[in-house]
């Protein structure tokens, strides 16, 4: 005699079985790769088209490649505003220090969006100074690279993973133009501000950018572009010798900005150059790193290759847990090939130092100084 079961009976039986053998506890008996999404995405990466990865064999081909990839990259990150709104610059504060002066400024980047920053001018050099745009990584924002602690007080010990690198820039007789990236420091929403000074506000803003068909990378790069516009209004700064430096998320911004704005003559990328595969595709990162569809066209080293033949320096720690050193080395080797094709291999250099994810600068800052003086 057959027995029939209702859907409710079957559901109860399924739940009872699940309670006895939860899926999470049975993972060791299952073929794990089929349940591992990272494994699957890395396998998928093997067939990524990379249609515009570097293949040029001479300078003319390399220049054409740059034109094509720069246009495609601009499209992929969501593009830039068609018009530049008036900067409406303001000087908020001026302070004097033993070796430099520091000015706090504000300007308009786009309608309804302001950029805040600090201008540090060396006392042991004469104007016009070569300006270096300094972009901090995740943390407290721009205050953390100009010698201001979490309480708003001055410090002299260059603490934290960023080691006050804007001050280090001015110690190399360069002008440091340190800007607050969108969603860091004073440029955060109220909910994230309430969580403390070290709480970055990339979410939900970076997600909102994707919903709008744009990216946080484009928004931050545009701020760098407008910072160059602001530099051009300052007579004590020589805009023809503009550099850019950043660590971590600031390194992301530096690499993309230098790739897309040729007014940047030298770039120091700290703790970022890597492959998308080995870093942001394999390791948890902030959403502000991602560009939809970019692997259809190029890898991270191709983006860095757009900086050639201008000066480029990459640095990374040999124990960096989020940008693996093997991929940092391999990516730089790819970038170096671009520079060789342009006939200027000496304009690209790299230092791998003993350490984790932090700004180093031992070779990078002298390289930057030499490139811009």
SS3 content of the chain, % helix, strand, coil (to 5): 40, 20, 40
Q: Of the candidates 249, 227, 224, which has an alpha carbon nearest to the alpha carbon of residue 237? A: 227
CA distances from 293 to 78, 188, 212, 276, 297 (A): 11, 28, 15, 12, 8
DSSP for 96-111, please give it: E-SSEEEEEEEEEEET
- Res 33: pLDDT: 84
DSSP letter (8 states) at residue 84: P
Residues 145 and 43: their CA atoms lie apart, in Å, by 39
Domain ranges of the chain: 90-372
Rounded CA-CA distance 242/267 in Å is 9
Number of other CB atoms surrounding residue 39 within 10 Å: 13
Task: Give the per-residue pLDDT at 25.
Answer: 58
Helix (H) or strand (E) holding 163: none
Which residues have a Cβ under 8 Å from the Cβ of 137 and sit 6 or more positions away?
161, 162, 246, 247, 248, 249, 250, 251, 271
What is the reported pLDDT for 2? 47
Q: Which CATH number fits domain 90-372: 3.40.50.1820, 3.20.20.80, 3.40.190.10, 3.40.50.1370?
A: 3.40.50.1820
Q: According to the model, what pLDDT value does residue 325 have?
A: 98
Q: What is the pLDDT of residue 200?
A: 87
Specify the pTM: 0.92
- Biggest distance spanned by C-alpha atoms of the chain: 101
Count other Cβ atoms within 10 Å, centred on residue 196.
9
Distance CA 38, CA 33 (A): 9
Closest CA to 365 of 341, 354, 349, 346: 349
Q: At what angle do helices 216-231 and 202-211 cross, to 10 degrees?
A: 100
Give the integer Cα–Cα distance in Å for 12 and 17. 9
Q: What is the spatial distance between Cα 201 and Cα 198, in angstroms, rounded to a whole number?
A: 10
Determine the Cα–Cα distance for residues 99 and 85; give it in Å rounded to an integer: 35
- Residues in the chain, total: 373
Answer yes or no: are the C-beta atoms of 268 and 243 closer than 8 Å: yes
pLDDT at res. 18: 46
The C-alpha angle with vertex 76 and arms to 70 and 78, in degrees rounded to 5, equals 105
User: Mean pLDDT per 10-residue run, the chain (373 residues)?
Assistant: 54 49 56 86 97 98 98 98 97 97 98 98 97 97 97 92 98 98 96 92 96 98 98 98 98 98 98 98 96 98 99 98 98 98 98 98 98 96
Which runs of consecutive H residues, i.e. helices, occur in 46-153?
59-76
Q: From CA 285, how far away is CA 304, in angstroms rounded?
A: 20
**Contact present, 141 and 247 (Cβ < 8 Å):** no
């Amino acid at each position: 005699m057959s027995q029939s079961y209702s859907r409710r009976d079957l559901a109860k039986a399924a739940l009872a079985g699940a309670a006895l053998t939860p899926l999470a506890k049975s993972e060791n008996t299952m073929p794990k790769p089929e349940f591992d999404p990272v494994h699957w995405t890395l396998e998928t990466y093997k067939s990524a088209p990379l249609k515009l990865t570097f293949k040029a064999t001479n300078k003319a081909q390399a220049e054409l490649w740059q034109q094509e990839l720069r246009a495609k990259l601009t499209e992929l990150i969501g593009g830039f505003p068609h018009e530049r709104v008036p900067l409406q610059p303001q000087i908020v504060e001026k302070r004097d220090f033993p070796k430099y002066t520091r000015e706090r400024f504000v300007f308009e980047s786009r309608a309804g969006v302001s950029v805040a920053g600090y201008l540090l001018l060396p006392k042991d050099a004469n104007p016009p100074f070569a300006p270096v745009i300094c972009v901090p990584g995740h943390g407290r924002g721009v205050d953390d690279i100009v010698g201001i602690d979490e309480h708003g007080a001055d410090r002299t010990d260059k603490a934290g993973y960023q080691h006050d690198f804007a001050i280090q820039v001015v110690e190399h007789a360069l002008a440091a133009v340190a800007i607050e990236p969108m969603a860091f420091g004073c440029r955060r929403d109220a909910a994230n501000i309430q969580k403390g000074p070290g709480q970055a506000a990339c979410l939900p803003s970076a997600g909102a950018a994707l919903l709008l068909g744009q990216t946080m990378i484009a928004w931050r790069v545009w701020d760098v572009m407008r910072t160059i516009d602001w530099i051009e209004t300052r007579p004590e700064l020589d805009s023809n010798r503009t550099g850019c430096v950043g660590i971590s998320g600031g390194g992301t911004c530096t690499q993309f900005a230098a790739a897309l704005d040729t007014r940047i003559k030298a770039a120091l990328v700290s703790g970022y150059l890597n492959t998308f595969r080995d870093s942001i595709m394999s390791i948890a990162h902030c959403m502000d790193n991602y560009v939809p569809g970019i692997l259809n066209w190029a890898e991270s080293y191709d983006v860095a290759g757009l900086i050639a033949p201008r000066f480029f320096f990459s640095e990374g720690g040999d124990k960096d847990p989020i940008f693996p050193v093997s991929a940092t080395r391999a990516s730089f080797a790819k970038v170096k090939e671009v520079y060789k094709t342009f006939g200027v291999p000496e304009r690209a250099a790299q230092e791998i130092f003993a350490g984790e994810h932090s700004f180093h600068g031992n070779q990078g800052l002298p390289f930057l100084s030499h490139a811009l003086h």
